[in-house]
Structure 1
Amino acid sequence: MQTYNNLVEATNDLMKRGYTENLSLEGDTVDDKEKKIKMTADDFEIDEFYRFEGASNPDDMSIIYAVNSPKYKLKGILVNAFGTYANNSKSAILAKLHHYQVNDHLK
């Protein structure tokens, strides 16, 4: 797994490696709004993820996921808050994302 100094550096490198779609977390789906695709937890895999703390506030954290979906033939980037500002919903999507965060030490 790569090491990045900040979110922009990670985003730029992932885009160079083919993660070109801009994905968003929308409740129980991860969406590619441009292509009008709504993916459930079973529709995608997380290839990589990286956490970043805010420069002035450690509670200002974000996480970037490199996501691929063989079903929809896409690779994209999902950026989400982590820590204090994270969405604490119990959706299957968030359970899947959280699973990767918690189990990253197993890689």
Structure 2
Amino acid sequence: MQKNESLTDALAGLREKGYEADFATDTFCLYCSDLDMRLDPEEFHVDKTYRFEGNTGDGEEARLYAISSPLGVKGILVDTDGTGARHLNVEMAKKLYGDQDLLD
């Protein structure tokens, strides 16, 4: 997990590398409304994860995921409140957050 650049810089860098689709989390999958595409946990790979901590010291954080699929689609997922795992099923939460973050 990388922590050394701003969210804006990381987004711009990923867009330059072809991560064009915008994904959102659903309980059981990732969803891209522009492509009307759903990807189950076994249908995508997390290429890179960035974590950004807020300046207020109140535990605020954001995560940015670079996502790719065997279908050739590359995109991003932004979790701005750091609580994304709460509404996901176990398989999706493990895929995005790993076992350790589920214990927090």
Instruction: Output the TM-score relative to the length of structure 2.
Output: 0.82
Q: Name the counterpart of 1:98.
A: 97
What is the number of residues matched between the two proteins? 100
Q: Note if 1:89 corresponds to 2:51.
A: no
Q: 1:3 to 1:89 in 2, by over 3 A?
A: closer
Structure 1 contact 46–66 (Cα < 8 Å) conserved: yes
Deviation at 1:99, TM superposition (A): 1.8
The runs of 5 or more residues in structure 1 that have no matched partner are 103-107
**Could you tell me how far apart the structure 2 residues matched to 1:9 and 1:101 are?**
27
Q: Identity, % of aligned pairs?
A: 27
Q: 1:21 to 1:5 in 2, by over 3 A?
A: same
Which runs of 4 or more aligned residues in structure 1 lie more than 4 Å from their structure 2 counterparts after TM superposition?
none
Structure 1 contact 19–66 (Cα < 8 Å) conserved: yes
**Could you tell me how far apart the structure 2 residues matched to 1:46 and 1:39 are?**
12
Deviation at 1:56, TM superposition (A): 2.0
Q: 1:90 to 1:20 in 2, by over 3 A?
A: closer
Query: In the TM superposition, what whole-angstrom CA distance separates every residue of 1:50-70 from its partner, at most 9, and x where no partner exists?
Result: 100112244110100000001
Q: Which moved more, 1:85-94 or 1:73-82?
A: 85-94
Query: In the TM superposition, what whole-angstrom CA distance separates every residue of 1:71-94 from its partner, at most 9, and x where no partner exists?
Result: x320000011464x3442351111
Amino acid at match of 1:75: K
Q: Name the counterpart of 2:54.
A: 54
RMSD: 2.2
